[in-house]
Amino acid sequence: MVEHEISSRHLRIIASSKADELGYLGQQAVSDAVPPGEDYRIIGGHMVRLLLELHPTPSTTPRSTLDADTAIGDLEVVGPLSDALQAQGFTKKGGNVFTLEIDDDSTTEINVLLPRLDHASGLRPLMVEGVGQVDSLPELSWVMQNEPIVLDVTTVLRDGRSIEYRTRIPGVEAAVVLKAHAWKARRMATEKDLADLATLFEIRHFHADVPWQLDEPKLIGFRKDTARILHDLATSIPRRSTAYKVPKDLDRTRLAALVQRHVSVPK
């Protein structure tokens, strides 16, 4: 349960593609479905997109994504959230995936995740009574303990209509923690986490006022684990050949340099 109201910031966004529209419609659906007063975060690619809208950064291109990944702070909220999404017309697939067909070739998808209290890396299912298995991540337990950024979003859709909703996202540092751990867990299968990490480090570099402790001399816990992941990345990514996929347009040397500049070497 959220103990106090956090001041919000306003964003006005123009959806430039069908993928954009589906993502923002998914965010609105989550906002309407979460019970009042309960804590959650929009994570994944939409988290990075909203952070970039909040902190415009030169030469950084937003990445569109369809899925509205959502972290819920309390296991007991999953049932009411599931019921509310289905009342909106979403179809539940498994315990934590909800889809809604907007038209013949457009579907918005919401993935619900939970925090868990261990350090075993990667997704693991938790059984939620009456709902089914819901994927969980250990780093979400740390992220949910940090203050969110609360956003009042107005999105102009491609047909000129506007939608409005309030949502919650992690800050830039917490987003880096999530994306670094996601990359480590699935780095042989996806390039999007590296693209998102590059965007987040550009935000940090051009907006020095964002809260940030990954450059402190004595890191502990998830910050220390994250620093290890990032410095391993900074060491390997400048090489011509890597054991993992790298986006073709990603500046490998620059990302390595930004990690070395803004993240302490863990001891």
Q: What one-character DSSP code corresponds to residue 61? A: P
Helices (H) and strands (E) in the chain, counts: 8, 10
- Cα separation, 134 vs 112, in Å, equals 7
Q: What is the pLDDT of residues 105-154, one digit of tens each?
A: 889 999 999 999 887 888 899 999 888 999 999 999 999 999 999 999 99
Amino acid at the residue 216 = E
Tokens describing residue 14: 């123009």
Per-residue confidence band for 10, with pLDDT thresholds at 50, 70 and 90: very high
pTM across the whole model: 0.93
Strands 97-103 and 106-115: antiparallel
Three-class secondary structure of residue 127 per DSSP: strand
Concatenate the DSSP letters of all residues of 81-135 into one string: HHHHHHHTTPEEETTTEEEEEEETTEEEEEEEEEE-SS---S-EEEEETTTEEEE
CB atoms under 10 Å from CB of 261, counted, come to: 12
Amino acid at the residue 265 = V
Concatenate the DSSP letters of all residues of 26-55 into one string: HHHHHHHHSPTT--EEE-HHHHHHHHHHHS
Q: What is the pLDDT of residues 154-206, one digit of tens each?
A: 999 999 999 999 999 999 999 999 999 999 988 766 789 999 999 999 999 99
Phi/psi of residue 5, nearest 5 degrees = -80, 130
pLDDT at residue 6, rounded to an integer? 66
The larger pLDDT score, comparing residue 66 to residue 212, is at: 212
- Cα separation, 191 vs 164, in Å, equals 31
Three-class secondary structure of residue 178 per DSSP: helix
If you count them, how many residues does the chain have? 267
